[in-house]
């Protein structure tokens, strides 16, 4: 190659290199411009002044006509008893729906079809692994001082007994403190707790920890007075938890009547002997699903107001009150908004949780799948305290968001459901609330809720169509207004 050719090639290479460097520089500046533009836009969005509280009050007051329209349609309209009728058909068809059961599988498929036929949007299932515990045959027979059959309901996750059962003398105590003070009497006995009902939140610790506390002092089994203020000889079940590194013993609930009888016998100095048989077994976790449907928002479809109830129930009764009713008034929200041809700015998402009763198992897995989207969750709502006469809402959030919610509740003055109390959490939405998302729960008259809770008496007879439609009205007004306001609730 001649020198001239070499120089020509070198010049060509230098031109190519210069063009390459120039293009890289241009790309770099283009990227920097895009990043800066994004940051400026984000900064402007973040620093954009929120409405004053007076402006927000005025905006909310502007929803009074829509709120009245929702109330009129829900309480007095042609579909006023729809949530009750849907629930009755559901529980009469499926029955109870315990975690891991075939009935729960049927219920999920039933709702998937029903929501699709109701022309809801984005109807789908999201997978979860859930516990599978089966109570089996169970009985408790008093052998001394008389022959007497004691009504029991084994507690969830309890181990079973041998086929011949456990035959042992009874030690009756009224509290954990009394059990500890009489620990030297507990070895080899069946501990019976006769604790008084104070409140569900406080007294439920006996159901949850009673077996482990009895095992620590050498007991063979535990029988726990049902967690209820009232009984017509009905035992209540529920989930219990074994403590780590503590011997697992069988455990069940008995009625208030029998717990008090055993206490009286014990106080007289009578020797009480019981034979307890429980066929309870725990199987490997099974596949299940949370059931989802939506009304997709018109302006901010990625932002979500979540309404929910749990689809599973205990394996006694038909799960109408706990929590079929909560699930079905949540479904009613979507149906009402669709019927009235309303379209909020944000998405309203219905989630029917699976496996709430074993401790919010389905909701936990849903949260793990969606927590990356946490900033887009505006409000999470759960109905799981019955659908009796509504008073308003329980709410958890900042002082600013609470003030906004108080204004929204004023829209419910026509049905006298304007109260806003604290502690708006629930087993299935606490994951979001603990991460800072505002949360709400129906505030209803729960004076009779724990009469039926986790018993054979949880049937459609507990439900009242008037009370259900009032709850649906509260749920719909709140979810629609929050989803449609110009700004999200403050964090």
User: Which residues are part of the catalytic machinery?
Assistant: 356
What number of other Cβ atoms are within 10 A of residue 188's Cβ? 11
Question: What kind and span of H or E run contains 309?
Answer: strand 300-310
| Among candidate residues 380, 435, 442, 381, the one with its CA nearest the CA of residue 415 | 442
Instruction: Answer whether 228's CB lies under 8 Å from 236's CB.
Output: yes
Residues 317 and 61: their CA atoms lie apart, in Å, by: 43
Residues 238 and 99: their CA atoms lie apart, in Å, by: 12
| Among candidate residues 357, 138, 373, the one with its CA nearest the CA of residue 235 | 138
113's tokens:
């079809």
DSSP 355: -
Instruction: Answer whether 173's CB lies under 8 Å from 277's CB.
Output: no
Distances (CA, A) of 93 to 90, 111, 113, 123: 5, 12, 14, 22
Distances (CA, A) of 167 to 263, 280, 312, 346, 479: 19, 17, 34, 61, 55
Sole residue written with tokens 């479904």: 331
129, with CB counted inside 10 A (0-12, 13-18, 19+), is middle
Is the peptide bond between 45 and the residue preceding it cis, with omega within 30 degrees of 0? no
Residues 310 and 294: their CA atoms lie apart, in Å, by: 16
Residues 491 and 472: their CA atoms lie apart, in Å, by: 26
Q: Where are the beta strands (DSSP E) in 397-461?
A: 419-421, 439-444
Instruction: Answer whether 353's CB lies under 8 Å from 362's CB.
Output: yes
What number of other Cβ atoms are within 10 A of residue 57's Cβ? 16
Question: What kind and span of H or E run contains 89?
Answer: helix 82-94
Residues 380 and 309: their CA atoms lie apart, in Å, by: 11
108's tokens:
């999920």
> How would you classify the pairing of strands 273-278 and 251-254?
unpaired
111's tokens:
């709702």
């Amino acid at each position: 190659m001649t020198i001239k050719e070499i120089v020509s090639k070198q010049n060509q290479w230098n031109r190519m290199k210069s063009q390459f460097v120039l293009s890289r520089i241009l790309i770099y500046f283009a990227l920097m411009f895009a990043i800066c533009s994004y940051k400026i836009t984000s900064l402007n969005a973040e620093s954009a002044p929120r409405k004053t509280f007076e402006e927000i009050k005025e905006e909310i007051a502007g929803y009074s006509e829509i709120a009245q329209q929702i109330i009129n349609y829900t309480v007095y309209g042609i579909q006023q008893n729809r949530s009750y009728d849907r629930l009755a058909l559901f529980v009469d068809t499926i029955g109870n729906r315990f975690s891991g059961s075939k009935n729960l599988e049927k219920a999920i498929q039933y709702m998937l079809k029903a929501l699709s036929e109701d022309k809801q949007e984005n109807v789908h299932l999201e997978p979860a692994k859930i516990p599978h515990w089966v109570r089996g045959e169970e009985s408790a027979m008093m052998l001394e001082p008389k022959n007497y059959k004691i009504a029991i309901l084994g507690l969830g996750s309890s181990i079973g007994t041998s086929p011949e059962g456990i035959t042992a003398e009874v030690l009756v105590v009224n509290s954990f403190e009394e059990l500890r003070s009489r620990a030297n009497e507990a070895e080899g006995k069946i501990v019976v707790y006769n604790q008084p009902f104070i409140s569900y939140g406080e007294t439920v610790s006996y159901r949850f920890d009673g077996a482990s506390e009895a095992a620590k002092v050498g007991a063979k089994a535990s029988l726990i007075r049902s967690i209820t203020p009232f009984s017509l000889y009905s035992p209540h079940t529920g989930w219990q938890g074994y403590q780590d590194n503590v011997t697992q013993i069988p455990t069940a609930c008995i009625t208030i009547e029998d717990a008090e009888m055993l206490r009286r016998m014990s106080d007289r100095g009578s020797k009480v002997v019981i034979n307890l048989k429980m066929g309870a077994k725990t199987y490997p976790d099974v596949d299940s699903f949370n059931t989802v449907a939506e009304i997709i928002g018109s302006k901010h479809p990625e932002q979500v107001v979540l309404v929910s109830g749990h689809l599973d129930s205990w394996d006694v009764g038909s799960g109408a009150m706990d929590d079929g009713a909560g699930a079905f008034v949540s479904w009613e929200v979507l149906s009402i908004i669709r019927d009235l041809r309303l379209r909020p700015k944000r998405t309203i998402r219905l989630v029917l949780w699976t496996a709430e009763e074993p401790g919010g198992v389905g909701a936990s897995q849903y949260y793990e799948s969606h927590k990356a989207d946490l900033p887009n969750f505006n409000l999470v709502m759960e109905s799981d305290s019955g659908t009796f006469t509504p008073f308003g809402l329980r709410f958890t959030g900042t002082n600013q968001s609470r003030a906004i919610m108080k204004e929204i509740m004023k829209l419910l003055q026509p049905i006298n459901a304007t109260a806003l109390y604290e502690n708006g959490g629930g087993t299935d939405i606490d994951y979001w609330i603990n991460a800072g998302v505002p949360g709400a729960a129906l505030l209803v008259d729960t004076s009779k809720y724990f009469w039926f809770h986790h018993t054979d008496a949880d049937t459609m007879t507990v439900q009242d169509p008037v009370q259900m439609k009032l709850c649906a009205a509260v749920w719909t007004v709140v979810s629609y207004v929050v989803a449609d306001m110009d700004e999200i609730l403050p964090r």
